[in-house]
Amino acid sequence: MKYWFLAVLLVCVGSVSPVHSESGPIGSTYDNVVVYEADKIITMEPGYPEAKYVAVSDGIVLAVAENLEELAAWTDGRRVTVDRQFASQVLMPGFVEPHIHPMQTIMMLPLPFISPEAWDLPGRHYPRVTGEEEYEARLREALAESEEKLFITWGHHRLFHGEMTRQKLDAIASERAVVIWQRSFHEIIANTKALEMLEIGTRDAFEAEFNRPGIDPSHADFETGVIHETALFNGVEKLRPYLFSPEKVKQGLAEMRQMMLENGVTTSADLAFGGFGGIDAEAPLFKSLYDRDDTPSRILAIPVAPVVEGDPNAWLAATSAKYGSDKFFFSDRVKLFADGAFFAQFMQMKPPGYSDGHEGKWITEPDVLEEQAERFWEEGWSLHTHVNGDKGVDVVLGILERLSTREAQDRVLEHLGYSTEAQNRRIGEMQLMVSAQPNYIRILGDAYARYGLGPDRAAQMNRLGSLERKKVPIGLHSDFNMAPIDPLYLAWVASTRITLEGNEKAPEERLSLHKALRAITIEAAQVIGLDDQVGSIASGKKADFVVLDRDPFASGARALNDVQVRGVIFEGRWFAAQ
């Protein structure tokens, strides 16, 4: 036994112990090594799935091992600290959130939530609200509590709260300017006072604002005050002064950082970069958060297609040079949009369609979508396509099948709310990947069974078990605020399929526990092209770990929602959750 190993055994009596070797000179690389001890280290690496110790230096993993002596190759002759504060806890790879929208998150967090499910946000709790009377009562309470010149709230859904129109809002708040943000985020409803404040209070002004290239005129209705889908971003632009005050931006950034930390997220991807305010407005804002030394996470910025002007690769080089950093960075990936929002029943459905006969909507018409896909694909970019309904899936699969074969590029389906078994077979055969939004079945499984889809199709929303059986790589995402930024919650939903009313829908479509945990770690990293850097605990990868109070594999799928995050180790540094 080496003298170094004996020294370690003798001095590791505290939670953190410095150990200096006496057996040789300090190494020329990785001079300072920290060895973290845990009750169990779950690596998510199939060849070496568990360990008890992990050695890190300069922000990366040097090695994992079952005992300290096995680490001698990396510790002998170097300055070593053995950190035992996690000796009774469990380490996993830092969680990966493959689809969020930081601008949306910053906008939403300062707003009061009145939604069908309860929300726990930093420093506050919003209870579940159901029924038309309960919604209106809570809305009146929130209005009374607010001094905002333009009151904005998020979370309304007509299947839980009744219909909402400009006229109904006028009756509730005739003297206040009010905007209701629908649960999908893809739709807002404004009362008369709000339309006047936003300078679109006459029919001529309203139609002039939304009669522009790229906007479907049917997506903005003056009579009802409803603005949605292709008209939404123009509506958001009108709301900008009321959403992005310095105080609200500061609050949104701080709370987004805290949500990531509290829920163990160390890597994420922005799947709509530039879409809310343009790259020159968004990039400095994000850098003000991610380039800070005390922000224990990084983000990949994936732009929406329209903001990438000219040669995509020249755009990527210029944008990376201007804004890129170690924790805020870019790659050759782009976000495309097919059909409409799942939470609003705007997704495009094949026959028999919707039970009330309404039609879904296209965010991007299929011919335009195909042009966008071809443009980026031929330049070597990977494609991330928002698609929700089975009619939309047919269109997207057809477009992807017609692209030239390029093995080094990824094709990722985003959300995939409802797909058929035949479509899932095609997805597997085409070797596509899926970044799934599992919260649809949790929030909407019962409501859509009663209205819109019927019991069979509603039960089979989020058909993830089928994809697992076909060996499709899957990531689980929040798309906040479609779901909380809470990967363990997403894994719990995907592996249990328990609805708000306590029903378990289509058990065969549950993810296995192992697959669900892969979908928030290594496979979540894979769908955004970062699995060579993050998503598992392995030599050479980023030293990103989440510290848990228990082993989620031992607890089982139904207890995933009870597992507590104690904090994260980001690039080798500890950050407590609280």
pLDDT of res. 137:
97
What is the model's pLDDT at position 28? Answer: 56
At residue 50, the pLDDT reads: 98
Structural domain boundaries in the chain: 3-88, 99-246
Distance in angstroms (rounded) separating the CA atoms of residues 546 and 488:
11
pLDDT of residue 10: 28
Q: Is pLDDT above 80 for 184? A: yes
pLDDT in tens, 443-476: 999 999 999 999 999 999 999 999 999 999 999 9
- Per-residue pLDDT averaged across 318-333, rounded? 98
- 8 A C-beta contact, residue 418 and residue 461: yes
**pLDDT in the model for residue 19:** 44
Q: Among candidates 568, 574, 441, 428, which has minimal Cα distance to 501?
A: 441
Q: Determine what percent of the chain is predicted with pLDDT higher than 90.
A: 90
| Mean pLDDT, range 15-37, rounded to an integer | 65
| DSSP code at position 86 | T
pLDDT at residue number 8: 37
Q: What is the pLDDT of residues 401-414, one digit of tens each?
A: 999 988 889 999 99
Q: What is the pLDDT of residue 277?
A: 86
How far apart, in whole angstroms, are the C-alpha atoms of residue 51 and residue 477? Answer: 28
Quickly count: other Cβ atoms within 10 Å of residue 554's Cβ. 9
> Whole-angstrom Cα distance, residue 373 to residue 382?
9
Q: Which helix (H) or strand (E) holds 503?
A: none
* C-alpha dist (Å) from residue 147 to 106, 143, 178, 482: 20, 8, 12, 27
Instruction: Say if CB 397 and CB 423 are below 8 A apart.
Output: yes
Average pLDDT, stretch 38-46? 98
Specify the pLDDT at position 27. 46
Name the more confident of 1 and 430: 430
- Is it the case that residue 11 has pLDDT exceeding 80? no
> What kind of architecture, by CATH, is found in domain 99-246?
Roll (3.10)
Beta strands per DSSP E along 194-297: 220-221, 226-228, 265-273
Q: At what angle do helices 421-429 and 390-402 cross, to 10 degrees?
A: 20
Architecture of domain 3-88: Roll (2.30)
Would you say residue 25 has pLDDT above 60?
no
Residue 380 burial (CB count, 10 A): 12
Dump pLDDT digits (tens) for 271-301: 999 998 899 999 999 999 999 999 999 999 9
Question: Average pLDDT for residues 243-247, to the nearest whole number?
Answer: 90
- DSSP 8-state code for residue 17: E
pLDDT > 70: percent of the chain: 95
pLDDT at 67 over 50: yes
Res 508: pLDDT: 98
pLDDT value at 197 more than 90: yes
User: pTM of this prediction?
Assistant: 0.93
Average pLDDT, whole number, for the chain?
Answer: 93
Q: Quick check: helix, strand or coil at residue 206?
A: helix
User: For residue 18, is pLDDT > 70?
Assistant: no
Angle between helix 439-450 and helix 487-496 axes, rounded to 10 deg: 50
Q: Residue 325: pLDDT above 90?
A: yes
**What would the mean pLDDT of 411-433 be, rounded to a whole number?**
98
pLDDT of 85-122, one tens digit each? 999 999 999 999 999 999 999 999 999 999 999 999 99
d(CA 462, CA 417): 5
Instruction: Answer yes or no: is pLDDT of 362 > 50.
Output: yes
